[in-house]
Amino acid sequence: MNKGSVLLIEDEESIGEMLTTVFEREGFRVVHELTGEDGLRRLERTEPLVVLLDLNLPGMDGVEICKRIRGKSEIPVIMLTARDTEIDKIIGLEIGADDYVTKPFSARELVARVKAVLRRSQDRVDDRRFIEVAGWTIDSGRREVRPPDGEPVRPTAKEFDLLWYLADHKGLVLSRAQILEAVWGYDYFGETRTVDVHIRQLRKKLEGIPIETVWGVGYRIEAG
Ligand code: CA
């Protein structure tokens, strides 16, 4: 059974060979590109289920590639990093990766991560819901926000999750720590300032949605 393809962007041939065997056994096809430029081109022509992206690539590096992918797509991205310390870099940069593994990783572990990421993105589609705020419609299936009139806006993945969390708790004041835990996950090492930065971006992109600052506490979207 063919479950779909996995796009691997990785300059080490041997990793491609190892993953091809294991993923094929699981019913996935592996498409392997050795450079970021080729990977991005491939992504424009095909629709893989997930991208496995090496952080250290010759030429355009994984951080830049991930940003470019995020600029146009919600496809899940799993970063392949060489050292634990690089994880901080990925998370700190907020480049929008869905998960990461540290080399050397086992192919089996990576398959498990891929399945988990695919399950999560499938859940998002299955649980499609809409929340109305000030005449705007927030659509969890399309992950876009539609103004009362005009073109839909597509925030980045994290911006959307943040907006959704606030809108889903309309009327409640949410602390930065609460927001971090809910949106970024308990294992997120970032600072609460991350929340402020994303709120600022949301306000810029979605001027019609009133996100209120509650001084000394956090943020709130007014009920009603
Ligand atoms: Ca590499």
Per-residue pLDDT of the chain (224 residues; tens, 9 = 90+): 678 899 999 999 999 999 999 999 999 999 999 999 999 999 988 889 999 999 999 999 898 999 899 888 888 999 998 877 676 666 656 677 888 888 888 888 899 989 988 887 777 666 778 899 999 999 988 889 999 988 999 898 889 999 999 999 999 999 998 898 888 876 556 677 888 989 999 999 999 999 999 998 999 998 86
What pLDDT is stored for residue 34 in this prediction? 96
Of 103, 122, 141, the domain-final residue: 122
> Which CATH number do you get for residue 83?
3.40.50.2300
- One domain, residues 71 and 95: yes
Domain around 144 = 130-221
Residues 138 and 109 in one domain: no
Per the structure, how many domains does the chain have?
Answer: 2
Amino acid 23: pLDDT = 94
105/190 same-domain check: no
Nearest 5°: phi and psi at 135? Answer: 85, -10
Q: Is residue 153 located within the same domain as residue 54?
A: no
Residues 139 and 108 in one domain: no
**What distance in angstroms lies between residue 149's CA and the mean position of ligand 1's atoms?**
46
Query: Can you give the pLDDT at residue 73?
Result: 82
76 and 26 both lie in a single domain: yes
CATH code of the domain containing 210:
1.10.10.10
Predicted local confidence at residue 97, as pLDDT: 83
Q: How far is CA 92 from CA 41, 54, 135, 148, in A?
A: 27, 17, 34, 35
Same domain, 113 and 12: yes
42 CA → ligand 1 middle, Å = 18
How far away, in angstroms, is 93 Cα from ligand 1 center? 19
The residue from 53, 88, 122 where one domain ends is: 122
Tell me the CA–centroid distance for residue 216 and ligand 1, in Å.
44
Q: What's the 166 CA to ligand 1 centre distance in angstroms?
A: 38
Distance 157 CA to ligand 1 centre (A): 26
User: How remote is the CA of residue 61 from the centroid of ligand 1, in Å?
Assistant: 9
Determine the distance separating the centroid of ligand 1 and the alpha carbon of 60, expressed in angstroms.
11
The number of C-alpha atoms within 13 Å of 139 and in the hemisphere containing its C-beta is 11
* Claim to verify: residue 111 and residue 8 sit in the same structural domain: yes
In the structure, ligand 1 is a single-atom ion and the residues with CB under 5 Å from it are: 11, 54, 56
Boundary-marking domain end, from 96, 122, 148? 122
Question: What is the distance in A from the centroid of ligand 1 to the CA of 10?
Answer: 6
Cβ of 21: how many Cβ atoms within 10 Å?
Answer: 11
* Residues 98 and 144 reside in one and the same domain: no
Query: Taking the complete model, does pTM exceed 0.75, yes or no?
Result: no
